[in-house]
Amino acid sequence: MRRNFVILLLLCLFVTLLSACSKNETSKLADNSDNASNKENVELTISAAASLQDVLNKLATQYENEHPNISITYNFGGSGALQQQISNGAPVDLFFSAAEDKFDLLVEEGFIEKNKGTDLVGNELVLVVGKDQAQNIRAFEDLPKIKKMAIGTPETVPAGKYAVETLERSNLLKEVEQQIVYAKDVRQVLTYVETGNVDAGIVYKTDAMISSKVKIAAVAKYNTHSPIIYPVGIIKGTSHKKEAEKFYNYLQKEESLKTFEKFGFHKVKK
């Protein structure tokens, strides 16, 4: 009888311990679930050159899949216009420019710290014409033959500045300046060529690659324009410093750089 009582007592103790462990594990799972559900959702705003549109949309999709609490919103446009917006207080977390001078202005003004920016990728400048273009345009020297050509507005669109440099150094600017139609960014230049509103346009190689309606007639020589470098940096006043730094570092990863290369960009020597 006494033996049965001891066995019963031990069974009660075992059941009590098992119940306590079960409650503890359930509590831990609930805590982890609460932590996951309470993880703050953050929206990152990135001002980026229009020529980066396709590759950055691709990278954003990949990044958001890996970081469900992060959503990325892009403000695409001419680098000069974007730089002016940031200088005037636009709420932005990162700036991705198509020109070093626009980026450097923000560094000088204190909007970007030097150690929070890097030259990430490079590009090429090309002359494009419509795929069904009847005129025989095979080189920049053929531009005086055409009626209209488009470039980005040089003051705010780096591709437009590079285009003017190329035309000047090729001794063509005076001959063609009356034919030039100015656009707000390179994507608008591309659209003008695609729709036949102009006979030719000067854009980046990466822009030409995404269109099935244009073809590259010529590639500008490297010595005819300033180096085409794309710097990216974190805005000092960002309200999402930790998340901005993580995405900034993500852009520099080898996997991300390979994605840039697939879209026609190339790595830059540092």
Residue 163 structure tokens: 């285009």
Has 186 been labeled as part of a binding site? yes
Given a contact cutoff of 8 angstroms between Cβ atoms, the answer to whether 46 and 75 are in contact is yes
Name 191's Cβ contacts closer than 8 Å, sequence gap at least 6. Answer: none
Cα–Cα dist 92/47, whole Å: 7
The angle at the Cα of 225, spanning 220 to 230, to the nearest 5 degrees, equals 95
Has 27 been labeled as part of a binding site? no
259 CB neighbour count, 10 Å cutoff: 16
Cα–Cα dist 208/131, whole Å: 11
10 CB neighbour count, 10 Å cutoff: 10
Has 159 been labeled as part of a binding site? yes
3-state secondary structure of 129: strand
Cα–Cα dist 167/239, whole Å: 43
Has 49 been labeled as part of a binding site? no
Q: H or E segment at 158?
A: helix 158-169
Has 176 been labeled as part of a binding site? no
Name 73's Cβ contacts closer than 8 Å, sequence gap at least 6. Answer: 43, 44, 45, 46
Q: Which of 229, 251, 227, 238 lies closest to 62, judged by CA?
A: 251
Cα–Cα dist 230/54, whole Å: 15
- Sequence ranges of the binding site: 51, 79, 159, 186, 204
- Sequence ranges of the binding site for molybdate: 51, 79, 159, 186, 204
